[in-house]
Amino acid sequence: MLDIHQTSTAVSDRGSKQQLESAAIILDCREHGESDLIVTFFCRDHGRLTGIAKGAKRSKKRFVNKLEIFTSLLIRHTMPENRRLAFIAEAELLKSFLTLRQDISCYTTANVIRECILLATQEMEGDEQLYPLLIWAFTSLDSGRPPQAILILFLIRFFTAIGYSPQLRRCLNCSQEVHERETYTFYTTVGTIRCSNCSKREESSGTPLSLGTIKSLTAAQDQPLDRLQRLQLSPHSQKEALSFLHHYGRQLFQREIISWSFLDTISSKNVYRSR
């Protein structure tokens, strides 16, 4: 049975061009010439790869309606060599994640996730945590879970996976553990919270985080992936969390997350608004 969680397997070896079969998510697909497509996909073993699907625009059998953004596929491909593109021979649909292309809230959320993955990864850099996290996020969105909560849970785990886990357990300056009688502010430049006493001495502005939000987010950092969606965040916590995660992402990437601006336009309740 085909499995979206599977890793790559070698399927043939013709000379130096070994062909692999990888379960992957399509992150980008653009036209190239009259009939080819350039496809960027993300798989567990090799991370982000970019390849060319020759004749894909004409091929009814090998690729038709498969090389769509956010789709999960089993891709038969070579590895890129000498800075050249991988060669994509064939693709088999694993899961279309149709909701992500049809529902505007899911689409804009998935697009932020996609942009963050593209910003944080290099070609051919495998990562054991990112691929399952990406599958978890897209599966959760596709099954109708609230997009803003999925984005928060994805981002808090994503920053940990790329080595920049926000430190929310104790004040950076006095090292006191988070407790009920204190208020906290998150500082994006250092990726850590400070208590009210220590914040007063800081000149740079931070994002206030309530205790409830801090507790929800640290729980999200600790939970196994298959239990992550059980976490509930209040509307207030969602607003706070999105604001700080947005600022933190901009600080880490040293640029705006372009697709984030579309989140603001889709929610009438303003739960996505971060400023």
**Is 26 one of the binding residues for Zn ion (CB under 5 A)?**
no
In the complex, least distance from residue 191 CB atom to Zn ion, rounded to whole angstroms: 15
Q: Which stretch binds Zn ion (CB under 5 A): 65-73, 143-151, 193-201, 235-243?
A: 193-201
Residue 72 or 207 having the CB closest to Zn ion: 207
- Write out 136-192 in H/E/C secondary structure: HHHHHHHCCCCHHHHHHHHHHHHHHHCCCCCECCECCCCCCECCCCCCEEEECCCCE
In the complex, least distance from residue 199 CB atom to Zn ion, rounded to whole angstroms: 8
Residue 20 or 198 having the CB closest to Zn ion: 198
Residues forming beta bridges with residue 12, ordered by sequence position: 19
In the complex, least distance from residue 224 CB atom to Zn ion, rounded to whole angstroms: 31
**Is 75 one of the binding residues for Zn ion (CB under 5 A)?**
no
Residue 48 contacts residue 42 (beta carbons within 8 Å): yes
Residue 51 contacts residue 87 (beta carbons within 8 Å): yes
**Is 198 one of the binding residues for Zn ion (CB under 5 A)?**
yes
**Is 174 one of the binding residues for Zn ion (CB under 5 A)?**
yes
**Is 85 one of the binding residues for Zn ion (CB under 5 A)?**
no
Residue 177 or 226 having the CB closest to Zn ion: 177
Q: What number of CA atoms fall less than 13 Å from residue 182's CA on the CB side?
A: 18
Residue 138 identity: F
In angstroms, the CA 238 to CA 244 distance is 10
In the complex, least distance from residue 188 CB atom to Zn ion, rounded to whole angstroms: 17
Please give the residues from 132 up to 171 whose contact with Zn ion meets the rule CB under 5 A. Answer: 171
Burial 71-101 (b: 16+ CB within 10 A, else e): bbbbbbbbbbeeeebbbbbbbeebbbbebbe
Sequence-distant contacts of 39-43: CB under 8 A, at least 24 apart: 39/67, 39/88, 40/118, 41/73, 41/75, 42/117, 42/121, 42/130, 42/131, 42/134, 43/7, 43/8, 43/75, 43/131
Residue 48 or 194 having the CB closest to Zn ion: 194
In the complex, least distance from residue 181 CB atom to Zn ion, rounded to whole angstroms: 13
Question: Which residue, 199, 200, 245, is CA-closest to 220?
Answer: 245
Residue 184 or 244 having the CB closest to Zn ion: 184
**Is 214 one of the binding residues for Zn ion (CB under 5 A)?**
no
In the complex, least distance from residue 207 CB atom to Zn ion, rounded to whole angstroms: 16
**Is 195 one of the binding residues for Zn ion (CB under 5 A)?**
yes
Residue 39 or 198 having the CB closest to Zn ion: 198
Residue 173 or 251 having the CB closest to Zn ion: 173
Which member of 173, 221, 251, 267 binds Zn ion (CB under 5 A)?
173
Q: Which stretch binds Zn ion (CB under 5 A): 25-33, 42-50, 133-141, 174-182?
A: 174-182
State which H helix or E strand residue 240 sits in: helix 235-253
Residues that bind Zn ion (CB under 5 A): 171, 173-174, 195, 198
